[in-house]
Amino acid sequence: MTINSSTIGSAIGGEADTQGGNATATGNSVAINSSTLDSVFGGNADTQGGNATASGNSVTISNNSTVNVEVFGGAADVTGDGNATASGNSVTINNSTAWYVYGGNSEADGAGNSTASNNTVTINNSTVNTQLDGGWAENLNTGNATASGNSVTINNSTVSGYVVGGRANAFGGNATATYNTVTIGGASDLSGANLYGGRGSSTPGGTLDVFTGNTLNVYNYSGSGTIQSVQNFEFLNFVFPTSQSGPVLTVTNATLGNATAGKGSTITASTIGGPDPLQPGASVTLIQGPVTDGLASTQATGQHGATLAYAWTLEIASLNATLGNVQAAPQAQTLSKGNTVHLTITGIGSNFW
């Protein structure tokens, strides 16, 4: 479905609604160009007696469009004891404005489970005013809620409110929001934003994990303003130019580690490749502001491009990194021995802009 230069209420790429069986909305797409809407769904599955699945749906919003209420890549809703699953859905917003954005959303109100997995949201040169979730899973009764493998990417955009990789709420079961990713880059304004790897709740008797495997990637970020908070990231990866003079991030509050999960955060700090790496003794403030110490280690690694490896020492007050030594990265050593290989930077910095 494509909507051009229009003002309408809602757009739904594909919808399945049943009273007693399974509902599936798969592979639908909506493209919005130069238009104003209240809400957009790539795919919507709703059932009152079976399982609901929304997968592989997409929404793309471009060219100064506005969505005044909510955007869902895919949504699955179950009334009864079935399972609700939203997986592999996506939302991309370019040069436009929105308020509530969800890559994938699943909700179950019975004994079944709710799962939001591998959904993505990408915001480019746009504004999101209230809430941004890669994936949201919620169970209102006795089932489990799981949000895993979801991602949010923000580039050269203004975002306020909650930015959450994955969110899981379980009112009678277990809630898990793990292995989600938030990536920020460019000249974004996140001064009104709270960044969460995972967020959620469970009632007494249920388990809650909103920390394990969640990752924050900060890539060549030159944003303005003070980020409100950074929370529930097991891994924080920073990539910045060697000319970095001020803090990479400035925050009102940053919490490293998670007491409930019993784990600390792991840091990497790398510089964008070029002829002049940082020298031993260089110091960079990765996070300026009150930082709660929950580091897995006071040592950190990183790279300069693909050829040099950094070893850092971390200090807490703000999160400061001091460079101890620079040496050839394992890939560069392999090349020096005469082997012909294709170099790929794995992990930090390999899949960004």
> Which run of H or E residues covers position 62?
strand 58-62
Residue 350: inside a domain = no
Is it the case that residue 22 has pLDDT exceeding 90?
A: yes
Count up the domains in the chain and report the number.
1
Residue 118: inside a domain = yes
Distance (Å, rounded) from C-alpha 209 to C-alpha 308? 36
Is it the case that residue 352 has pLDDT exceeding 50?
A: no
Distance (Å, rounded) from C-alpha 60 to C-alpha 1? 10
Query: For the segment 270-321, what is each residue's pLDDT rounded down to a tens digit?
Result: 999 888 999 999 999 999 999 999 999 999 999 998 889 999 999 998 999 9
Residue 353: inside a domain = no
> Which run of H or E residues covers position 335?
helix 330-336
Is it the case that residue 335 has pLDDT exceeding 70?
A: no
Residue 349: inside a domain = no
Distance (Å, rounded) from C-alpha 59 to C-alpha 13? 8
Question: Domain of 27?
Answer: 2-336
> What is the model's pLDDT at position 348?
33
CB 29 within 8 A of CB 57: yes
Q: Which residue has the tokens 């840091």?
A: 267
Confidence of residue 338 (pLDDT cuts 50, 70, 90): very low
Q: Rounded to 10 degrees, what is the CA torsion of 9, 4, 63, 27?
A: 80
C-alpha distances in Å from residue 46, one per residue of 56, 85, 150: 16, 11, 22
> What is the model's pLDDT at position 306?
86
Residue 341: inside a domain = no
Residue 352: inside a domain = no
Is it the case that residue 337 has pLDDT exceeding 70?
A: no
Is it the case that residue 326 has pLDDT exceeding 50?
A: yes
Is it the case that residue 245 has pLDDT exceeding 50?
A: yes
Query: For the segment 138-182, what is each residue's pLDDT rounded down to a tens digit?
Result: 999 999 999 999 999 999 999 999 999 999 999 999 999 999 999
Query: For the segment 120-136, what is each residue's pLDDT rounded down to a tens digit?
Result: 999 999 999 999 999 99
Query: What is the pLDDT of the chain when averaged over all its residues?
Result: 92
C-alpha distances in Å from residue 60, one per residue of 28, 33, 82, 102, 342: 12, 8, 30, 13, 34
Residue 343: inside a domain = no
